[in-house]
Amino acid sequence: PTRYAGYSGPVVPSGGVVARILEEVYELCRSDTSGTLADYIPELAAVQPDSFGICLATADGRVYGSGDLDTAFTIQSISKPFTYALALADRGPAAVAERIDVEPSGEPFFEISLDPTTQRPRNPMINAGAIAAAALVDGADAADRFARIRRSYSRFAGRQLSMNEAVYASESRTGYRNRAIAYLLRGAGIVDGDPDEAVDRYFRQCSIDVTVRDLAVMAATLANNGTNPLTRERALSRPLVEQVLSVMTTCGMYDSAGDWVTTVGLPAKSGVGGGILAVLPGQIGIAVYSPRLDAHGSSVRGVKACRELSNRLGLHFL
């Protein structure tokens, strides 16, 4: 194991130890069948509820996994830090900050949470901030803007990702609240142009299919200062990685961010598809997939597995 420049935290133990701990955590969490599938997007209830996978990828490109590593599920809100990253790269941090704040809202992901004075969404991890970020992505037209998002996520994952049409259609049919948020943002001057286009892009980005292995590699790319450790391709510049991980630390778990940061101690993001991604800067990326959710919209086994991994591997970095 190598220590990375500028980082003085724990070092990932040797491969054999990681593999054994992953198996132990997997077995421990598997018996927990509590929580419920998201069904407010009808198609999300169509998954196999017992699916469970844990994957860990190091910043130097080693990958360890247990369980269902190749099951596809939609990225959902785990897309938010990656689109925020692209908006930062396209517009620069100052222009993005004029439209999206970085304060934890302490509220659920679907709350409107606009600052009463500036009208800015509180942060890019809640839906309002995520729709504002989707609107800031550059491109010749709507198709090109979404294509750039998909390509950017694919660089993080190290393979071509694609959109799940059934989940997209299901969310688009039922996403009235997110449409209302997009219109509010348009009225407040946070979103320019067509609010329907911005929210459609948000629905599309949420419907990108990933595996738990993809998410672990995406997390490891953030851990590796923005360079994919498997393909060696740069997905994001180092200063922007710092900005994205900071916002994930304070806001990525919404109204359970405080509980998460005290018990797991890692920047993270959850999604209602059942994925969770966590990053130990300079060292490793972790991802868990299990679709039964808690009251905050996060995977029950995912939260538990991250707690156990953080404790057993000594990953709490704060």
Q: Binding site membership: which residues? A: 77, 127, 171, 178, 202, 254, 272
**Residue 170 binds to ligand DON (criterion: CB under 6 A):** no
Site string for ligand DON, 217-256 (x = CB under 6 A): ----------------------------------------
Whose Cβ is closer to ligand DON: residue 225's or residue 270's?
A: 270
Whose Cβ is closer to ligand DON: residue 38's or residue 54's?
A: 38
Whose Cβ is closer to ligand DON: residue 157's or residue 313's?
A: 157
CB 245 within 8 A of CB 45: no
Whose Cβ is closer to ligand DON: residue 199's or residue 313's?
A: 199
Contact set for ligand DON, span 77-116 (CB under 6 A) = 77, 109
Residue 313, H or E segment: helix 300-313
**Residue 214 binds to ligand DON (criterion: CB under 6 A):** no
Contact set for ligand DON, span 268-307 (CB under 6 A) = 270-272, 297-298
Which residues are known binding-site members for substrate? 77, 127, 171, 178, 202, 254, 272
Give the closest residue to 257 by CA, choosing from 207, 297, 203, 211.
297
**Residue 178 binds to ligand DON (criterion: CB under 6 A):** yes
Among 58, 66, 71, 76, binds ligand DON (CB under 6 A): 76
CB atoms within 10 A of CB 143: 10
- Provide the phi-psi class of 67: left if phi over 0, else alpha when psi is between -120 and 50, else beta: left
Strand partners, 208: 163
Give the closest residue to 56 by CA, choosing from 293, 296, 289.
289
Instruction: State how far the Cα of 40 lies from the Cα of 43, in Å rounded to an integer.
Output: 9
Strand partners, 269: 277
Strand partners, 209: 74
Interacting residues with ligand DON (CB under 6 A)? 76-77, 109, 127, 171, 178, 206, 270-272, 297-298
